Structures are given as structure tokens and as C-alpha cells.
Amino acid sequence: MRGTTVLPGTPCTAPEEGVLPMHRLEVPMPNALPFAIGSFDTIGPMSRADFPHRHTFYEIVHVTAGTGTHVLDLARWELAPPHLCVIAPGQVHHWEDAVGLDGTVVLFTEDFLLDHPGDREVLRGFAERPWLTLDDHEHDRVARLTADLHDEYRRGAEGFQSVLRALLHVLVVRAARLPVPAVAPAAPGATRPAAVADAFARLLARSDPGLWSVRACADRIGVTAGYLTEAVKTATGRTPGQLVREARTHEAKRLLTHTGLTVRQVAARVGFADPAYFCRFFRRETGLSPGAFRRGGEADGGGIHHDHRIASIARPEPAA
């Protein structure tokens, strides 16, 4: 995925009022990796951000202490550590009333998964249940693994990049063994339909208003709409149209829950020029009008030369 990392000093501001901030890893190219690991303190204040925002990168959090609530998309998860949480690019999250929050934060982009590309599919499988409470045995296993990751990252010894990728792969696979509805990684030599379906899923995850149609996605991938339909149905059992409607609805829910945008503005953000048509679409998909959902919604439910490390993620500057 291109554009997931930026040079130090690039502001991560919301492009216009009412748009959720998008945070990116700052990578002092060409030496740094699109990867970082540390505690909540060493990663920086954004690791505890109390305002809704998105990432262009994955975040795996091993929470070992603290009280409060983690809000991820439309679900609220009460802290009762230890936990393991997986946050995917494009998801909206923040920490609410968090006190004494501690643990390990692992950040990486899709580019970092080049040795184990199948992990992308596994990571997407966490979308349904991203928040896991660990028993003592699993907590110890995760703690040892993240300690090894942190030690490799800190030392930067010869060959550390491949070791980091291998250890991250182990972390992802072990997390998928926990009671989560994960999707198995594609086997080596996967068929072209599977690759097309994978590319389609990545496009929808971007929440790009220019990609809210099957034809737009097909054009971006470089296949016909008919072939895209066949490939996605083969891989998922569902049509691209169903998945596009689901993605648009989910994005609308995010915006209604986490922003003060009007219904008209939300409609425009998810590709509807006619707000009335958007309202009919939203009611058909959810059983609620946008206004009713908002009122009672599902809220319950700068680097050093030759240094591969990323010091922190800075909070975006306030919009002028």
C-alpha cells in the first residue's frame, strides 16, 4: 500500500472541518522501517489519544494495566487487563477516561508484511472481535513475544529486519488462534480470483469516496466489473455490491457516531449527492434513519540518520 508512511514533520491534520484526523507513521527515509514498538509512554501521546481518529497503519496493543474504555468503531470495550487489541487501517478509535494505561504498542504498515503477505488476510479477520481478554498463559506468551520484538527493534543488530518480521508473524498467527473469527491466509500460489478479491477488500478498507461503486473498484484493480463479481463471490460467497453497501453503511455509522457532520455532509462523504436518497439507503440497510441512529445509535455495542526506529507519533496540529 503506497502512501502509508510520511517523512518526519509532515502534518497529520484533518483536511477539512468535520473530517476525522488520519495519523501516519513518520519514517525518516531511507533508513527507518515502517514499524515501531514501545510502551504507551515511548510511542508518545497519540498512543493514548482521547479523540476519535484513524490510522494508515496497523496497531496491535497488549494492555497490561489501566482502567477506562477503548472505543473502536461503534463498540465500547471496558478495560480489565490483560488484553490484546488489533486495530486495522481506516478503523476509528480512541481511549475514553483511561487511567494508568500501560502495556506494549506495536505499529506497522502493510509494507512491513512483505515476508508474510497472508497475514493481511488474518489481520482483517479481527474486525469482528478486535478486543481479546487474555488468560494468564496467553498473557505470558504475548508478553515474552513482544519483549523479544522490542529487544530486536532496540538493538538493531545484523538481520534484525527479518527477525522482526518473523516475530510479528508469530504474534499475528498466535493471536488468530484465540477465539476470534479470523480468516485463513491465502496459500502460496493463490489463484487470480483470490488476489482480485483481496485487492477489492483493501480498496474498501480505505473508505475512499471515489471507490464507493463496483465499477470504480474494478477499474482501479484493472479488471471488468463482471470478473470482479465472479472473483469476490468465489472468495467470499457474497457479491461486490453487497460488500460496497456494507462498507458505505459502516462508514456512515462511523461519521454519525464520531463527528458533528450534518446528515447532508455524511451523505456526501459516503458518495450520495442526494441526502434524501442516502436516508432511504441508510434506513434500508440499518432499519433506522441517520438521525435516529445518531440519537440512539450503536454506541454501546524526525528521525536520526541511520536509525531505523520511530520515536513517536505526534498528535496532529489543530486545524487553522
Of 8-17, 58-67, 89-98, 293-302, the poorest mean pLDDT is in 8-17
Which domains can be identified in the chain, with CATH numbers? Answer: 5-177 (2.60.120.280), 192-296 (1.10.10.60)
What CA–CA distance (Å, rounded) separates 296 from 289?
11
Tell me how many degrees the CA angle 179-94-40 measures, rounded to the nearest 5.
85
Residues 6 or more apart whose CB falls under 8 angstroms from that of 61 comprise: 83, 84, 85, 87, 103, 104, 105, 106
What's the 3-state SS for 225-251?
HHHHHHHHHHHHCCCHHHHHHHHHHHH
Which pLDDT tens digit goes with each residue over 16-37? 555 677 777 765 544 568 899 9
User: Mean of the pLDDT values across residues 128-136?
Assistant: 86
The three three-digit cell numbers of residue 166, written as one number: 518473523
Q: Which helix (H) or strand (E) holds 87?
A: strand 83-87
Query: Which of 46, 43, 49, 80 is CA-nearest to residue 64?
Result: 80
Task: List beta partners, residue 26.
Answer: 6
Strands 75-78 and 58-72: antiparallel
Which pLDDT tens digit goes with each residue over 150-206? 999 999 899 999 999 999 999 999 999 886 433 333 333 334 667 788 778 878 887
Residue 217 has pLDDT above 90, yes or no: no
